[in-house]
DNA sequence: ATTATGTATATAAACAGATTATATACAGGA
DNA sequence: TCCTGTATATAATCTGTTTATATACATAAT
């Protein structure tokens, strides 16, 4: 019923911003990175990543430039902007609050 | 950008199932219950609840009956089915795993 | 009396982010 | 030559949530 995309929704941008905090990267690498850390639960699709990039670039959260295609195809690199950093901090705080709320609502208790 | 609905998505049904585990209830009460526990972060809309009920009833997760409208309008009560209980257990385990994954992806570390 | 508020359910239409499908391109191994 | 892996991109589709709107009854306020 609910696919991985259902609970990724609302977090995809935050995750991308977090990864770019460690340094510039490109779509394919970011995608692989997310799936790797996803413990088999997260299966983010290429199209999701690339459409998120367009959206985030338009929103001024990311800056982009072309890197040399070392080996295979060309790579488009992304770097996080100041606006992106600020949004990340907000989203991070939001997640920490949300986690508590969902623990309460899903696991129950009280 | 991301509204509360974005991170509710994929969890709404789980939350409803959890609340019905405590006993039969009706839409308005469930809705109020969720918002109350939401710490101002969750603002689930009526339409979301009622469309979720239809979906879940069609999926055999819920059974329904009319209760007397004590005071105001009539109430449609819902009770969780065996299938609903099983799905809840799956979703609960999924959430506990997802929480760890998202902690890793959003907060970073390692 | 009538207006406003709170309780309670319901559905069509719009919205938005994720998925599916498809296309392109190059390198290296079988 | 074909397949796999790397790498990006977009149109069309899917789906759960939201917006807007409708109905209905009880009670308190004007």
Torsion sign across C-alpha atoms B93, B11, A45, A34: negative
3-state secondary structure at position B40: coil
* H or E element at residue B46: helix B46-58
Q: Which residues of A touch B7 (CB under 8 A)?
A: 7, 9-11, 98
> What confidence score (pLDDT) does residue B3 get?
67
- Tell me the mean pLDDT in the region B45-59: 96
Nucleotide showing the shortest C1' distance to residue B8 CA? D17
Q: Cβ contact (<8 Å) for B106 and A95?
A: yes
Nearest beta carbon to residue A11 from set B59, B95, B106: B106
Contact B53, B31 (CB under 8 A): no
> What confidence score (pLDDT) does residue B71 get?
61
Task: In whole angstroms, give the CA distance from residue B67 to residue B48.
Answer: 21
Predicted structure pTM score: 0.91
A56-69 confidence digits (pLDDT tens): 999 999 999 998 75
> What confidence score (pLDDT) does residue A77 get?
97
3-state secondary structure at position A99: helix
Long-range contacts of B26-34 (CB under 8 A, 24+ apart): B26/B67, B26/B75, B26/B76, B26/B77, B26/B78, B27/B53, B27/B76, B27/B78, B28/B75, B30/B78, B34/A105
**Tokens standing for B41?**
């972060």
Identify the closest residue of chain B to A88 by CA–CA distance: B106
DSSP label at B107?
Answer: I
pLDDT band for position B73 (50/70/90)? confident
> What confidence score (pLDDT) does residue A73 get?
74
Contact B17, B84 (CB under 8 A): yes
Q: Residue B43 CB closer than 7 angstroms to strand C?
A: no
CA distances from A26 to A4, A69, A82, B22, B110 (A): 22, 11, 18, 47, 20
Which bases of strand D have any atom within 7 Å of the beta carbon of a protein residue?
Answer: 5-12, 16-21, 24-27
Question: What burial class does residue B72 get, using C-beta atoms within 10 Å of its C-beta: 0-12 exposed, 13-18 middle, 19+ buried?
Answer: exposed
For chain B, how many structural domains are there in total?
Answer: 1
Task: Tell me which residue range forms the domain holding A44.
Answer: 5-107
CATH code: domain of residue B72? 1.10.10.10
- Tell me the mean pLDDT in the region B81-86: 97
Average pLDDT, chain B: 91
Nucleotide showing the shortest C1' distance to residue B52 CA? D16
Q: Cβ contact (<8 Å) for B101 and A37?
A: yes
* Pick from A10, A17, A58, A51: nearest CA to A34: A17
Contacts of B11 (CB under 8 A, 6+ apart): A7, A102, A105, A106, B91, B95
Ranges of chain A whose pLDDT falls below 70: 1-3, 69-72, 109-110
> What confidence score (pLDDT) does residue A63 get?
97
Nearest-neighbour CA in chain B from A18: distance (Å): 6
pLDDT at B72 > cutoff 90? no
> What confidence score (pLDDT) does residue A2 get?
57
- Tell me the mean pLDDT in the region B83-93: 96
> What confidence score (pLDDT) does residue B87 get?
96
């Amino acid at each position: 019923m609910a696919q991985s995309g259902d609970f990724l929704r609302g977090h995809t941008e935050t995750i991308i911003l977090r990864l770019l905090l460690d340094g510039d990267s490109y779509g394919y690498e970011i995608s692989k990175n997310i799936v790797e850390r996803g413990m088999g639960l997260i299966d983010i699709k290429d199209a999701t990543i690339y459409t998120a990039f367009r959206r985030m670039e338009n929103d001024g959260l990311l800056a982009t430039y072309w890197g040399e295609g070392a080996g295979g195809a060309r790579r488009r690199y992304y770097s996080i902007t100041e606006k992106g950093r600020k949004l990340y901090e907000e989203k991070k705080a939001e997640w920490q609050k949300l986690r508590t709320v969902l623990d309460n609502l899903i696991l129950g208790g009280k």
